[in-house]
């Protein structure tokens, strides 16, 4: 390719009243990004031992052609930085199957059985990083910021150290390599954790389209972690569905400018599987729950929906919290935020109208409401960490009487990861409501002290279960404020694993109506 020629014309006017310096720049040929015909050619020089940033959220927006091509190169001992680990036979699951990954730095890996097997058997290293911290570590790396302080993870294994990075291959459950403690510092009375930036040797990115200069545009929620990762590697390789001429993408529609794009390839035969297909219920389908388990979840969701107030910005966790949208009181507008980069989530799409590029943080297909906005993962967690979200509803495995929350790990058994929960509960001033069943197979879930690794320390403001509602004070403990109509205080005592106060204004547990409008 010929280098562009550059013509500079300088003119100085001779007017007696003023002198004006004029510079005219023109190029006879635009410098294009390096475009490859095949993804195999774009990744063939990635060596064993390389550190890769791999975009995507779940399997939405993953560079499927580049991953498939990399699986054929024979490169091994790779460190992969990615929000997720794909699924068993797609995304990074392919590289796990071919044993090319030595270490993962990830937020949530709960959908990949082969990953869990390799990790628990000591074949694979894993550095868990909260989702927002992961996004900010990558953003900082691309911006030349070596480290930063965040409130996320204080008082947990992430900060205190001891999280299992590698298990022993010989002795089941024995931790061979554990995470190190993080430095902490207090600002304005709030505890913060020092986190170091992340950069990569290569970034594997998926975008919707790019022009021949390398200006990039994403589509819907497929931007996610691709956005910050583009900027944080020595060599960014971007696969797109379409390559267009400069000017086709309007300047305001360029999500990633060409300076960050080193290699460009047009992907072929995209599969774009949907991880969790959800459709709107057809007309005439039962509106209310019909099974005992569904009825239990419905009781919790109907009460939790009453936490919403008009105009608030809310983040809803996976599971029961997402059911709450069915019971938002009429006349109340709630702006739903999702960690993968949305404000203004709508309901599930009608059958046949789902879009693989449009999902929520639970990887479910969704729609958008009028006035919705979409952004990258780093921006999403900036608004969370910056305390711009009014309320967070999420599930829990255990909650202590002083508001400690555990919901991300059972050491040696359950491998999922913190996801975005640590960021959501760790934001200063966040209002956190935990929605969960009161007991699990007869075991208490509300305890004097959590026995599982913490998601956050003294972070929960309210607990809503299928039996009762508690307010939580970080120093005074629990106060019972509502009891389900068919239960007594004695029932709550028998099913709660710690002491609590009883409100003098104790009320029956309220329930919102199904909102079919």
Q: Which residues are catalytic?
A: 339
Q: How far apart are the first and last CA of the chain?
A: 60
What sign does the CA torsion over 238, 241, 245, 249 have? Answer: negative
Residues whose CB is less than 8 angstroms from the CB of residue 338 and which lie 6 or more positions away in sequence, other chains included: 221, 315, 345, 360, 361, 380
Distance CA 456, CA 304 (A): 21
DSSP 323-369: HGGGGPPTT---EEEETTTEEEE--PPPTT---TT-B-TTSBB--EE
42 — phi, psi (to 5°)?
-75, -25
Distance CA 494, CA 480 (A): 14
Residues whose CB is less than 8 angstroms from the CB of residue 256 and which lie 6 or more positions away in sequence, other chains included: 207, 215, 216, 218, 227, 230, 231
Distance CA 446, CA 441 (A): 13
Distance CA 360, CA 276 (A): 10
Upper half-sphere CA count for residue 213 (Cβ side, 13 Å): 18
Q: Are 429 and 437 in contact (CB under 8 A)?
A: no
- Whole-number Cα distances in Å, 5 to 10, 25, 27, 30: 16, 11, 6, 9
Dihedral of CA atoms 446, 452, 458, 460 in degrees, nearest 10, equals: -50
HEC assignment per residue over 415-449? ECCCCCHHHHHHCCCCCEEEECCCEECCEECEECC
Question: Tokens 């990633």 identify what position?
Answer: 256
- Whole-number Cα distances in Å, 102 to 79, 109, 461, 499: 6, 15, 40, 46
360's tokens: 């929520």
b/e string for 392-420 if b means 16 or more Cβ within 10 A?
bbbbbbbbbbbbbbbbbbeeeeebbbbbb
Strands (E), 160-282: 164-167, 175-178, 184-187, 190-196, 200-211, 216-217, 233-244, 263-266
- Whole-number Cα distances in Å, 27 to 9, 30, 212: 12, 7, 16
Q: Are 384 and 378 in contact (CB under 8 A)?
A: no
């Amino acid at each position: 390719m010929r280098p562009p020629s550059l013509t500079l014309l300088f003119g100085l006017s001779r007017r007696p009243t003023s002198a004006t310096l004029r510079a005219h720049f023109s190029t006879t040929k635009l410098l294009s990004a390096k475009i490859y015909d095949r993804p195999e050619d774009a990744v063939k020089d990635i060596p064993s031992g390389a550190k890769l940033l791999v975009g995507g959220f779940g399997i939405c927006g993953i560079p499927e052609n580049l991953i498939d091509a990399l699986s054929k190169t024979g490169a091994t001992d790779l460190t992969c930085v990615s929000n997720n680990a794909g699924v068993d036979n797609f995304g990074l699951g392919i590289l796990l199957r071919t044993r090319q990954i030595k270490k993962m730095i990830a937020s949530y890996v709960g959908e990949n059985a082969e990953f869990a097997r390799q990790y628990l058997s000591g074949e694979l290293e894993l550095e868990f990083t909260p989702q927002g911290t992961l996004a900010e570590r990558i953003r900082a790396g691309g911006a030349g910021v070596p480290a930063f302080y965040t409130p996320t993870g204080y008082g947990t294994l992430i900060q205190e150290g001891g999280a299992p990075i590698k298990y022993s291959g010989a002795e089941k459950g024995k931790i061979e390599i554990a995470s190190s403690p993080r430095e902490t510092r207090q600002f304005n009375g709030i505890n913060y954790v020092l986190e170091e930036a992340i950069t990569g040797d290569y970034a594997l990115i998926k975008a919707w389209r790019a022009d021949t200069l390398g200006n990039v545009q994403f589509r819907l929620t497929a931007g996610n972690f691709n956005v910050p990762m583009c900027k944080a590697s020595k060599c960014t390789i971007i696969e797109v569905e379409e390559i267009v001429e400069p000017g086709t993408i309007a300047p305001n529609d360029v999500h990633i400018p060409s300076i960050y794009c080193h290699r460009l390839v047009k992907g072929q035969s995209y599969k774009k599987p949907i991880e969790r297909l959800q459709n709107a219920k057809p007309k005439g389908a039962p509106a209310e729950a019909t099974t005992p388990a569904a009825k239990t979840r419905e009781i919790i969701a109907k009460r939790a929906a009453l936490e919403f107030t008009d105009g608030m910005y809310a983040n809803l966790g996976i599971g029961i919290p997402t059911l709450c949208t069915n019971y938002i009181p009429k006349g109340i507008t709630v702006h739903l935020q999702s960690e993968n980069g949305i404000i203004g989530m709508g309901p599930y799409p009608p059958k046949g109208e789902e879009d693989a590029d449009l999902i929520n943080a639970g990887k479910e297909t969704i729609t958008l409401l009028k006035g919705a906005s979409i952004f990258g993962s780093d921006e999403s967690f900036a608004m969370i960490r910056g305390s711009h979200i009014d309320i967070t509803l999420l599930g829990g495995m255990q909650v202590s009487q002083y508001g400690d929350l555990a919901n991300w790990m059972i050491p040696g058994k359950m491998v999922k990861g913190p996801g975005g929960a640590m960021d959501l509960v760790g934001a200063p001033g966040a209002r956190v409501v935990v929605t969960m069943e009161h007991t699990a197979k007869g075991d208490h879930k509300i305890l004097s002290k959590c026995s599982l690794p913490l998601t956050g320390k003294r972070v929960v403001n309210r607990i809503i279960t299928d039996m009762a509602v508690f307010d939580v004070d970080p120093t005074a403990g629990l106060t019972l404020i509502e009891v389900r109509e068919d239960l007594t205080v004695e029932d709550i005592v028998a099913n709660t694993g710690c002491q609590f106060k009883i409100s003098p204004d104790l009320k029956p547990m309220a329930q919102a109506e199904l909102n079919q409008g």
